[in-house]
Chain A
Amino acid sequence: GEDVEQSLFLSVREGDSSVINCTYTDSSSTYLYWYKQEPGAGLQLLTYIFSNMDMKQDQRLTVLLNKKDKHLSLRIADTQTGDSAIYFCAELGGSYIPTFGRGTSLIVHP
């Protein structure tokens, strides 16, 4: 089946930029998503990008998509302690059933 891969952990200093990477295998992906899960809570949709776009920016968040390499990244500028969470990459292909990555735990330290 289709697969979505992301690294499990990322540690950054407060104020630095964070970059969370994701790779996927489904060449028919139409939408790609980033979700955020705070401790004790469900997943919340952060942002999404359509497969014919290269970049999307929303305040401190920048999503980059390299469709040729099937690589998606989420950049968080000026990372704050409140950004500490698990970030999930997900893709939606022709089946309309999303495939999620395992999640990247972002740890922000002072």
Chain B
Amino acid sequence: EAQVTQNPRYLITVTGKKLTVTCSQNMNHEYMSWYRQDPGLGLRQIYYSMNVEVTDKGDVPEGYKVSRKEKRNFPLILESPSPNQTSLYFCASSRQGTNYGYTFGSGTRLTVV
């Protein structure tokens, strides 16, 4: 089944403890992206990647890192999480430059205390 898989689905952590949220897609998509969703603010893009070893900042990149060493994986790294990073996070992928739209993962609900 074609899908974007994120792990974990839920995570509670403490301020300052490094964490990684994994994202993997099995559709050979070039484009991958991370979003956070907060009430009243909709989806805000954190980072995106057009292809392997190519990453760019989105609208809210502060406090996050990403890497794209393989086409299928695009992990989101929080080196020193803070409470304002408590949010619902989505990974998405698509073929580049097409009308197919984006396939989203099921989301990771992160709470930083």
Chain A residues within 8 Å of B, Cβ to Cβ: 1, 8, 30-31, 33, 35, 40-45, 48, 50, 88, 92, 96-98, 100-103
Contact = CB atoms under 8 A, between A and B. Distances in A.
A43 B105 CA distance: 8
Contacts of B97: 96
Nearest to A1: B59
B101 A96 contact: no
Q: Taking each of B43, B90, B103, which has the highest tally of chain A beta carbons within 10 Å of its own beta carbon?
A: B43
A96 B105 contact: no
Contacts of B41: 102
- Please report whether the interface of chain B is mostly helix, strand, loop or mixed according to DSSP: strand
A41 B107 contact: yes
Given A44-B104, A45-B101, A100 B42 contact: yes
B34 interface: no
B102 A103 contact: no
A8 B104 contact: no
15 contacts: A1-B59, A40-B107, A41-B106, A42-B4, A42-B104, A43-B102, A44-B104, A45-B101, A88-B42, A88-B43, A92-B99, A96-B96, A101-B42, A102-B40, A102-B43
Given A8-B40, A100-B42, A102-B41, A43 B90 contact: yes
